[in-house]
Amino acid sequence: MAVQTAASNTTSPVDLGPAAALSCRECGERFGLGPIFACASCFGPLEVAYDLPADPASDSYGSALRKRIEAGPNNIWRYAPLLPVPADVAEKPNINPGFTKLVKADNLARELGVTGGLYIKDDSGNPTHSFKDRVVAIAVEAARAFGFTTLSCSSTGNLAGAVGAAAARAGFRSCVFIPHDLEQGKVVMAAVYGGELVGIEGNYDDVNRFCSELIGDPLGEGWGFVNVNLRPYYGEGSKTLAYEICEQLGWRLPDQIVIPIASGSQLTKIDKGLQELIKLGLVEDKPYKIFGAQAEGCSPVSTAFKAGQDVVRPQKPNTIAKSLAIGNPADGPYVLDIARRTGGAVEDVNDEQIVDAIKLLARTEGIFAETAGGVTVGVAKKLIEQGVLDPALTTVVLNTGDGLKTLDAVAPTTGPTATIRPSLEAFRDAGLAR
């Protein structure tokens, strides 16, 4: 089943709920549901397509769907009618991620001068403490449907942990591949679930190339690579961030949203989710702006956006934000399209600004973000200072992971205020009594 491209456009018999087909983003050709990710005609990327009702935006349909969602479990399976999963998905062994906190960040808003309402979508509350649990949960259901026995991925860290945990829970073997120099916290978390963890000498792009070779080899038979041959399904998990944000805002679209960019898939799928909610009549249609955030040391999409280019030229990563260190992002051109279409932007911050932003969010809201969260908060701050992001509008900033995974980024400049003898006199002498 290690198939690289779509071989036929016949209807698939697998049960993936409302998913109707795979559709090419470039030419629009449709194919049956299967473990495929590239169009056989133009080699464009495939994504899941759904057949909506004849009048999906009718008041009766939207009202009934909203009630069904609100009555669902407090995880991503409340949105099962909008995802490529079977109707009984909540009854199967899965790690059940999602419905994480949307924190109203009033303290941070005052610090940044935001008056229109500032929110942090804090996905560090997922089972393995990153948003990757969402995408893997969807991929697991596709892997079941297609009869895979091994779950795999190329990963910058968070995905490796999510795959390891989900495979253990669902009864799959796992074998995941990472760059050899990842943060130790992410390495340990990926390894603890008992699957095979393989370090590859090189950066993420080297890992990804290796996995592309493996998937086309007999050695990869029976393997479901969540971000390769299962990628169309995997990507749909990011839509649940859009669904949750809007539901948690009282079924309203945010005016502005700041999203980190690694491959770019998360940003493009959040936009897809927002568009689906509009088409289904679950939210009122109004303009919204999407802003992409990158680390300066790996900023191919930001560089292209600021240069007014449509081509994203690969870069060699050199940043502390290793979860975003993808030098050749697959969805980069689509990110550019979305940022420009919505009136948003793509910006970057350097390593020092990332660390400052991590500490700012922790100090103001009690949220310890990983480096990717430092990137989004840092970019939001920078865009406000530039007058690009409007402080009078409702703004949501994503934190996609837990700072305990990236302690090395802040450890050199973070520690005890003082070390004293156990006496009141020493406490006073240290200037701490106030």
Cβ–Cβ under 8 Å, residues 159 and 152: no
What pLDDT score does 2 carry?
Answer: 36
- Determine phi and psi for 161, rounding to 5 degrees: -65, -40
Q: Which residues does the chain have with pLDDT short of 50?
A: 1-11
Q: Secondary structure of the chain in the HEC alphabet?
A: CCCCCCCCCCCCCCCCCCEEEEEECCCCCEECCCCCCECCCCCCEEEEEECCCCCCCCHHHHHHHHHHHHCCCCCHHHHHHHCCCCCCHHHCCCCCCCCCEEEECHHHHHHHCCCCCEEEEEHHHCCCCECHHHHHHHHHHHHHHHCCCEEEEECCCHHHHHHHHHHHHHCCEEEEEEECCCCHHHHHHHHCCCCEEEEECCCHHHHHHHHHHHHCCHHHCCEEECCCCCHHHHHHCCHHHHHHHHHHCCCCCCCEEEEECCCCHHHHHHHHHHHHHHHCCCCCCCCCEEEEEEECCECHHHHHHHCCCCCCCCCCCCCCCHHHCCCCCCCHHHHHHHHHHHCCEEEEECHHHHHHHHHHHHHHHCCCECHHHHHHHHHHHHHHHHCCCCCCCCEEEEECEEHHHHHHHHHHHCCCCCCCCCCHHHHHHCCCCC
What pLDDT is recorded for position 232?
Answer: 96
Rounded to two decimals, the pTM is: 0.93
pLDDT of amino acid 11: 44
Q: For residues 112 and 364, give the distance between their C-alpha atoms in angstroms, rounded to a whole number.
A: 11
pLDDT on residue 55: 66
Residues 6+ apart with CB under 8 A from 415: none
Report the pLDDT value the prediction gives residue 212, as an integer from 0 to 100: 85
pLDDT of 6 reads: 42
Rounded Cα distance, 362 and 350, in Å: 19
Quote the pLDDT of residue 183: 84
